[in-house]
Structure 1
């Protein structure tokens, strides 16, 4: 089973009111909004597919950093990434606040849950924060759209 995700997440309603091409804000559970970095957005902004988890990333690419800094101008946010195939893979995150990176790049099996906890997500009745917000709903970034999101 494959799973890939590239997205920026923040508390619902806190992304800046700017219009950026090829991006849409989706409302997840637990008061979290997500902006998927789809193939169209990757092509438009010059961001490769899974740049942090696909290889030995040590630094955040400038084009990814610029986009994430813009999206976090007025809020706390996190860039999250995951790439799994056949049970093998990893996750990544970096945290932002008011347009600045405030954490080192994290590559670990629990990076997305850590980022969601940073944003105040409580797993509640779910197995972890990843499941609580509904990130298990879709298996590929390009499959996320506003028409079929999981209900609260």
Structure 2
């Protein structure tokens, strides 16, 4: 079974500016964090221009100009853009974190065909730690905040208004 995720993670305060976006749906995660799934319609709505910064060229759904928008949102609190795409334990993760208007972590890209001890230091877990998440009694921060609840971007939208 596969897993696909593209979206922005931050506190409710950091993601407050998305209230002005028609396509935005914010989903509560654990540890005070929220997820803004990057749907096709949100991608279209936040695209600014047609050139993607080369640092984000490996991303599946990172809209052109989105880094400037994320930098602005991060003035309210740190935000991370994350992507994961894997099947049967192999695949990739991408993460970048902005804080106080600056890119402060990443972009980090890593494969998930590594042994479990390495996966604990995955790109998304590193970003979540930068946002204040803790693995606590879970295998990693990814599971601790509940990113394992759904397996596809669209699944996060079910039951949300």
TM-score, normalisation: structure 2: 0.75
The Cα offsets for residues 18-75 of structure 1, whole Å up to 9 and x where unpaired, read as 5123112211111111111112212333499x95355xxxxx7633313322432321
Is the Cα contact below 8 Å between 2:9 and 2:33 reproduced in 1? Answer: yes
Cα-Cα RMSD: 2.6
Distance 2:134 2:105 in 1: 21
Is the Cα contact below 8 Å between 2:84 and 2:92 reproduced in 1? Answer: yes
Is the Cα contact below 8 Å between 1:70 and 1:99 reproduced in 2? Answer: yes
Q: Which has the higher contact order (CA 8 A, sep 6+)?
A: 1
The equivalences for 1:5-84 within 5 A come to: 5-17=5-17, 18-46=19-47, 52-53=58-59, 62-84=64-86
Q: What's the offset of the Cα at 1:104? A: 3.0
Which consecutive residues of structure 2, in runs of 5 or more, have no partner in the other structure?
A: 113-121
The equivalent residue for 1:122 is 134
Secondary structure at 1:102 match in 2: strand
Paired positions, count: 142
Which consecutive residues of structure 1, in runs of 5 or more, have no partner in the other structure?
A: 55-59
The equivalent residue for 2:119 is none
Is the Cα contact below 8 Å between 1:53 and 1:82 reproduced in 2? Answer: no
Is the Cα contact below 8 Å between 1:53 and 1:83 reproduced in 2? Answer: no
The equivalent residue for 1:107 is 109
TM-score, normalisation: structure 1: 0.79
